Amino acid sequence: MALLSGAFVLAVTVDTPLVGNVLGLVVLLIWLQLPLLEIDEYGTIRENIKHPKSLYVHIAGTLLLALLLTGGWGFQPGLFITHTNLFKPDVETFLQYDHQLLSSLILALSLFGTTLGFLWFFEQEADQAAKDESPISLLS
């Protein structure tokens, strides 16, 4: 998720708007499909669970992160990092860009929270799908 969100930032900050929009859309579509592409257990989960909650958490979290990364709520990717020397913190700079720091924290918490939420639901759904597929349940 972090790598794809970084790729999304790089794609949408390209100088040419058309290229940025096309690349951003491609990365976003791959990002939205990531669980289905990368997790083998999703085949079993989708056979046994009609509407997996983990997939909906992933989609909602991805759209929220994409909104934050494209400038939603005043967040400008990288502005806080480029204007702040993290090794020699300057209180004035922190106060000048406090809204960017807050936006960066919201972004990090959103990435962390949606990943944990996805994993929590996914673990439950994988356990349920494994129980439904077990040979004991097939015999009864």
pLDDT (tens digit per residue) in 3-13? 777 777 777 67
The pLDDT of residue 24? 76
Name the 3-class secondary structure at 7. Answer: helix
C-alpha pair distances (Å), 55 with each of 30, 37, 103: 14, 12, 25
The pLDDT of residue 138? 45
- pLDDT of 113 above 70: yes
The pLDDT of residue 137? 46
- 35 pLDDT band, cuts 50/70/90, is confident
pLDDT (tens digit per residue) in 42-95? 888 888 888 899 999 999 998 888 877 776 545 555 554 555 555 555 556 656
- The secondary structure of 13-62 as a DSSP string is T-SSHHHHHHHHHHHHHHHHHHHHHH-TTHHHHHHH-SS-HHHHHHHHHH
Q: Taking all residues of the chain, what is their mean pLDDT, rounded to a whole number?
A: 75
Structure tokens at 55: 């997939």
Closest of 27, 30, 2 to residue 111, by C-alpha: 2
The pLDDT of residue 6? 75
- Which H or E run includes 118? helix 98-133
- 134 pLDDT band, cuts 50/70/90, is low
Contact 62, 69 (CB under 8 A): no
Structure tokens at 51: 């509407």
- Phi and psi, residue 87, nearest 5°: -85, -25
Contact 97, 74 (CB under 8 A): no
The pLDDT of residue 121? 94
